[in-house]
Copies of this chain bind each other. A is one copy, B any other.
Amino acid sequence: MSSIDQLIAGFRAFRVSNFEHRPELFEQLVSRGQAPEVLMIACSDSRVDPALLLNAQPGELFVVRNVANLVPPYEPDGRHHGTSAALEFAVRDLTVSHIVVLGHSRCGGMEALRNSALGERFDREFITPWVSIAQEACHCADAETLAGPDGARLVEQAALKVSLANLMTFPWVRDRVESGELQLHAWWFNLEKGELWAVTDDAEPPAPIA
């Protein structure tokens, strides 16, 4: 069976389960519309689907997925900003109560950024400028540490802090955070150990929460 036939068969399983066997959830999601409380900004990596990772049901998470789960800074220049458009829709239209930026270990995008900071040539049309959003994350430690066994994790977690800071450059995010209507979170999923860490923008070091 080809991977495409496999997906279509997978859809049939979903359809029978969710439209014939237990149709209530989708009937409600159609009639009431979506009303997720959480915007999840996650990586495109095939191993970190947020719904699977967090056992979430349809309707619970509004999700952006891009390379390395990055939030760019506020640049209202009329150009195409996919992540910022989703952020705007989630915050201003859906009025979510939480934004979670979800990073993970073994992130290929962050690895490219770290290698580039360590002097490796890395020259791609779109990936290079995109991951440069988190350039500053490579200043989190000296070159020796970056190159060492903890380097990847340090950069991945520092990049989460960059995204938290960038979120606050959007005026309608900052307003809602300051008024207490919106909370920002950054989590880092350790693929090897199955741990979930919280990363905050203050002095406290990142630590496992589950």
Contact = CB atoms under 8 A, between A and B. Distances in A.
Contacts of A87: 126
Nearest to A61: B46
Given A7-B54, A8-B196, A82-B70, A44 B13 contact: no
A192 interface: yes
A177 interface: no
A150 interface: no
Nearest to A172: B125
Interface residues on A, range: 35 or more
A158 interface: no
Interface string A72-105: 1001101111111111111011000110100000
Given A14-B53, A21-B13, A8 B66 contact: no
A196 B8 CA distance: 8
Contacts of A14: 52-55
A51 interface: yes
Nearest to A97: B3
25 contacts: A3-B97, A6-B21, A10-B54, A11-B54, A11-B210, A12-B20, A14-B53, A17-B17, A26-B47, A29-B191, A30-B106, A44-B62, A44-B63, A44-B90, A49-B63, A51-B51, A64-B65, A80-B81, A80-B130, A84-B125, A84-B126, A84-B130, A85-B124, A85-B126, A85-B131
Interface stretch (A34-42, A141-149, A199-207): A34-42
B88 A127 contact: yes
Contacts of A38: 3-4, 7
Contacts of A72: 80, 82
Nearest to A79: B129
